[in-house]
Amino acid sequence: MKYTRNFGICAHIDAGKTTITERILFYTGYKHKIGEVHDGEATMDWMDQEQERGITINSASTTVTWHYQKQKYKLNIIDTPGHVDFTAEVERTMRILDGVCLVLCAVGGIQPQTKTVWNQINKYKVARICFINKMDRVGANFNKVVTCIHKKLKCKTILLYYPIFKNNKFHGIYDILHLKEIYFTGDKGETVITKTITPQHQNFIKKLREQQIENLISDNEQLIEAFLEKTLTNTTIQELIRKQTIECKLMPIICGSAFKNKGIQTLIDNIIKYLPAPHEKQIQYFTTHNKSKLLTINTVNFVALIFKIINDPYSGRISFARIYSGKVKPGDKIYNCNQKTTEKIGRIVIYKVNKKEEIKQAHSGEIVAFIGLKSTYTGDTLCSENNKLTLEKIHFPEPVISFSVCTENEKDHDKMITAITKTAVEDPTIKITTNTQTNDLIISGMGELHIEVFIERIRRENKLSIIKKDPKVAYKETITQPFLKSIGKYIRQSGGRGQYGHVEINIFPRKLGKGIKFVNKIKSGAIPKEYIKPIKKSIINCCKKGYLTNSPIVDIKIELYDGSFHEVDSNENAFEIAAAIAFKNAFLNAKPILLEPIMLVNITIQAKYLGTIISDIASRRGEIIATKHQTPNYIIKANVPLANMFNYTTKMRSKTKGEIEYNMTLSHYKKLKEK
């Protein structure tokens, strides 16, 4: 484990994560050609849709080796998506990583999704280093980005490298700690040349070095004394940087340009130098009594966390796991603490992007995939049967947007449901529900692109023609005034025994939310008792589908006060039909109206977008209930009709540059219009 690093690369969309990963694969000898994202040839973007759209959708992992100080290191790399719609992929990746490389654009600096990623890094206490990318771009400003990090991320940093510019062009980097200049030459930047700093820049870099070291050792008197006496060695400084980085108290900052092949080799060296090995990160677990304890890593007690599941067309269900302790081999029986089941490992593979490599045994600190687990889901803990414990589950955000789906051909409907249910197992942020009122199949997710990618995958893999549309609004119907003496008669003569039913009812409106009430006021046996139940059943059934839009009827009171029967011709069926006639007549004459669902929307937004959000809510027929200032944000509570909330996520992210968080729940129903 000492020579293993499990790390991820994460950032705001288009900061250059996948480009950096491509260079790492090239320099470590994993591949002999650099694939570019804009050409659709990036190795880590292996899905069709990733290549077509030029974005990362799935977290792709691979394993490479790198020699540092004559020692061979194993690097497990995960390239994560940057788009806000795929934030769940980042969430589950953060849960199992030991370290992370946060990539920032030298022009854009801290962008909206950077903050989301930063919160996830802090949430799971992942050690981090920062790579300021795109130093070659016009407008790149290293100092401005560093200031932005301190201001917006509020973290302690140390500059390890500084950009070298000549004639306003990015040429290489200064190694601040060792007072060297580093250049990357050759066709692909594969040759690293180290030089002594030129005299005209020595004073600036020496001063910068002193500032960084003073900041690093500011709370350690012994080290301050050694620094003043000039006995503080680079080895001691590097050990302190590593210690504070692993404790998440410090973020080393590196710079370069992945696209121009500058700075990647130094990035790999620093990942090995400062990010923790698997055994150096503290892992908590819960006992059967729900007590929290620190996990002791050994070779006997097997403990792993399932962080991702995919359905492979050839191998079936594949469960990705991070092994925290012990070892496992194919054929071993393991216990699932969450599902309370015992399962058998079929095969164990390691993934190199989308290629599988089978292994005979997996050990602590490794990220592997198990084939053959049937009842295991994302977030489940696997362990030895004699050592039952539970690791903390992965907490996924709630879906924020929904769409209705159907097939062009009704015969494919069942096939579509099976395909969607099977694929949804892979993504815990996709929720599948059926609206019992409209019979719509509803898919909910993190954003419009998220759902579009999910549906497109179902289309391609199952050759189905699926239509996506806004879900129908679940309206309800009610009445606004009473209607008395509504008569329903059903009389039929057909040679033999006939049909006879006669019902008289009154109908009254009730307060919203009070439901349906049926009152039997029959006296002196005008209708025999055995027909009362069928009458009530018939009226309740009529309320399931109203007469305005086939929506449910709610909040009414029905009084059955009179009627008559025939000793021979009356039966349950006749009274059910008579009751339905009386009810329809009463309802349509009691000034019926439609009720629309009103959603309680909680919005968290920065002060600069407050006016934009308030005016938008007003344009959606919304009503603001409360506005609360919680520095630096505002929290707005509003009631907005559901019919006006479709595509809200996409439009609001556009208006606020992605800096909006909101959730939506049903509040109540409100009068829409009279008929």
CB hemisphere CA count around 398 (13 angstroms): 6
| pLDDT (average), residues 582-611 | 89
For 409-431, b where at least 16 C-beta lie within 10 A, e where not — what string?
Answer: eeebeeebeebbeebbebbbbbe
Q: How far apart are CA 107 and CA 140, in angstroms?
A: 5
The pTM for the full model equals: 0.69
Report the sign of the C-alpha dihedral through residues 552, 557, 563, 566, in that order: positive
Instruction: Give me the phi and psi of 106, to 5 degrees please.
Output: -65, -15
* Per-residue confidence band for 84, with pLDDT thresholds at 50, 70 and 90: low
451-505 tens-digit pLDDT: 888 888 888 888 888 888 876 677 889 999 999 999 999 998 876 778 999 999 9
Q: What is the DSSP letter of 154?
A: -
State yes or no: pLDDT of 211 exceeds 50.
yes
The helix or strand, by DSSP H or E, that contains position 208, with its residue range, turns out to be: helix 199-216
On whether the CB atoms of residues 119 and 152 are closer than 8 A, the answer is no
Distances (CA, A) of 375 to 274, 319, 339, 343, 394: 38, 10, 7, 8, 17
Report the sign of the C-alpha dihedral through residues 354, 356, 362, 363, in that order: negative
Residue 464 in tokens:
């189905």
Residue 216 in tokens:
């690093």
Task: Choose from 103-117, 365-379, 527-541 the range with maximum mean pLDDT.
Answer: 527-541
More reliable by pLDDT, 300 or 438:
300
pLDDT of res. 451: 82
Residue 103 in tokens:
């990539």
The C-alpha angle with vertex 322 and arms to 36 and 79, in degrees rounded to 5, equals 15
- Candidates 122, 140, 120; CA nearest to 16 is 140
- Candidates 530, 444, 395, 403; CA nearest to 91 is 395
Distances (CA, A) of 435 to 293, 402, 439, 555, 669: 43, 12, 5, 20, 16
State yes or no: pLDDT of 47 exceeds 80.
no
State yes or no: pLDDT of 352 exceeds 80.
no
Under 8 Å CB-to-CB from 602, ≥6 apart: which residues?
635, 636, 637, 662, 663, 664
Q: Is 616 helix (H, G, I), strand (E, B) or coil?
A: helix
On whether the CB atoms of residues 66 and 75 are closer than 8 A, the answer is yes
Chain-centre distance of CA 393, in angstroms?
Answer: 14
pLDDT of res. 85: 55
* Residue located via tokens 């790492």: 24
| Mean model confidence pLDDT for the chain | 85
What one-character-per-residue DSSP string does 441-458 give?
Answer: EEEEESSHHHHHHHHHHH
| pLDDT (average), residues 381-396 | 86
On whether the CB atoms of residues 88 and 429 are closer than 8 A, the answer is yes
What one-character-per-residue DSSP string does 120-146 give?
Answer: HHHHTT-EEEEEEE-TTSTT--HHHHH
pLDDT of res. 629: 84
Residue 377 in tokens:
């889901």
Q: Is 67 helix (H, G, I), strand (E, B) or coil?
A: strand
Q: How far apart are CA 665 and CA 639, in angstroms?
A: 10
* Per-residue confidence band for 45, with pLDDT thresholds at 50, 70 and 90: very low
Residue 286 in tokens:
């819960």
On whether the CB atoms of residues 383 and 304 are closer than 8 A, the answer is yes
Q: How far apart are CA 216 and CA 211, in angstroms?
A: 9
pLDDT of res. 38: 47
> Which one-letter amino acid corresponds to residue 178?
H
State yes or no: pLDDT of 196 exceeds 80.
yes
- Candidates 19, 8, 173; CA nearest to 102 is 8
| pLDDT (average), residues 663-675 | 72
State yes or no: pLDDT of 631 exceeds 80.
no
pLDDT of res. 55: 46
State yes or no: pLDDT of 115 exceeds 90.
no
State yes or no: pLDDT of 547 exceeds 50.
yes
On whether the CB atoms of residues 102 and 131 are closer than 8 A, the answer is yes
Residue 233 in tokens:
């060695």
On whether the CB atoms of residues 500 and 532 are closer than 8 A, the answer is no
- Candidates 246, 273, 278; CA nearest to 76 is 278
Under 8 Å CB-to-CB from 607, ≥6 apart: which residues?
629, 632, 633, 634
Distances (CA, A) of 94 to 47, 99, 185, 297, 301: 22, 8, 34, 20, 24
| pLDDT (average), residues 408-435 | 84
Beta bridge partners of 327: 363
- Candidates 213, 234, 230; CA nearest to 159 is 213
